[in-house]
Structure 1
Amino acid sequence: MKKDISVTCEDRTHLTATLYSPSAPLKGAIMIAPATGIKRQFYAAFATYLCELGFGVITYDNRGIADSLKGKVQDSDASLIKWGTLDMPAVLETLKLHFPHTKYFLIGHSAGGQLLGLMPNVHDLTAFCNFGSSSGSLRNMRKRYLFKAHFFMNLFIPLSNLFFGHTKSQWVGMGEPLPKQVAKQWQQWCNGQGYVETAFKRDIHTHFYDDIILPSKWLLAADDDIANLKNVEDMVRVFPNASAQIEILHPDDFKVKEIGHMKFFSRKCQHIWPQASHYLAQFIDT
């Protein structure tokens, strides 16, 4: 069974989320943390799969995105930091409220895995599994993708913010329109190293990356131009005490044409989903 619900953040901002409740006995509960500008419906098939395995699941739209956008996107004060410090903790607390007395997991896609060290309640998780989560550092991009990455980050984002007051990322196939501060921080962090680490001691004064000792699995696709191995390793480095496994998914091994940065969550790749679910399932009875 699935239903749309409202999540209330500490600053009273309301997010739209979807809750998936299994009919079978509850095995655990999973928060699916989305990539930058990706709305929750993108993860519906994957969430349904997890629910059919016996997990309670929550998907959500970050503030300023899709159904969580209140008013005009150019008026939104959303930022990547607020997504990590306000939105993600509130979603996890809502998951705990609806599925009490069980084990909690996070599956992060890109930014969803990058930002979890900003969550003050991150220690309520038992383990996490990320797909396509990396530092996104431009300096580690493959040459064939480098021009495209620099164009989007260092030309398209600032010009779009200047002329429209937000980033029209939908124009270049990069998800929903982005609030100005979200796109600006994204640009700044991808021009550095360690993604969120770029803002430590400048915009971020409290974080929990050093304290995270959770087991984790980091999945990346061999054909992902953004989350390549160097950038995944750069992001894992920001979690110095986490127990991290890195696994590269090769499209040929799974008989698919493409996985890339987004296709993992497509129904065409559903036979790859056990790479995530089996990893989390091992912690259910421990």
Structure 2
Amino acid sequence: MNDFSLAERFEENRSQLRSVAYRMLGSTSEADDAVQEAWLRLSRSDTSEVENLAAWLTTVVGRVCLDMLRSRKSRGEEPLGVHVPDPIVSLDPEQETLMADSVGLALLVVLETLSPAERLSFVLHDMFGVPFDDIATIAGRTPAATRQLASRARRRVQGVPAPETDLTRQRTVVEAFIAASRGGDFDALVAVLDPDVVLHVDGGTFSKVVRGAAEVAGQALMFSRLAPYSRPALINGAWGILTAPEGKPASVMAFTVRDGLVAELHILADPERLGRLEVKDS
């Protein structure tokens, strides 16, 4: 296979590979780095006897991501305090159906709590259908061991109550939150929040967790001056809020809605990461 046709075949798989890497790493920039490393390894390899290039590349990306996760741990680079993974933001509902990276931000937060090997086993098997025999080769474990790792990860994920998946109901709740914030209406804000709502804020140099409807509503009103610049946006496939004064993102708020109320909020307010944010528009 010549270099041109190899590059073409790689590009055909790029979107899928980026989806794997994003779920593994929770970082769009690191996901791109992992995909680029997969291309470099492909370009240096003899693939003449590879029957399924997509599966081969998925395995390579999985190995690269596992190394990156382990490196984070060994260098002590895991975030302290609240960490909100990089969001995928879209202002075009029609485009969202084409976004390969649509995985809930709340789920990514749970994946961050897994060990590198657990995350690898769960993401590759449960999300992409990679056989445990192949995962075992990447992880340096037996197939039985990787099956156990995936099972542990699955229990952690399934232990989180399921969010509302109906986009229309999600948007109704988000719009009610925006309206209450713009109006400075404390009671209306409390009414849209679950009594046990939890707010997670990742500001880069600071982070905090706020619990309870009254406390979260109070926090929202502290920043009501920004409410006029807030608009509904699809955050990893679910309705949330993008706040962007003069078109410059100041925060991304991901909602987890259950039973018609906001059960959880994840806010990314890190100026450095928001400066790199790509907003997909119509």
| TM-score bracket for this pair, using the shorter chain length | under 0.3
Structure with greater helix share of residues: 2
Q: Scaled by the length of structure 2, what TM-score is found?
A: 0.27
| Largest Rg, 1 or 2 | 2
Q: Scaled by the length of structure 1, what TM-score is found?
A: 0.26
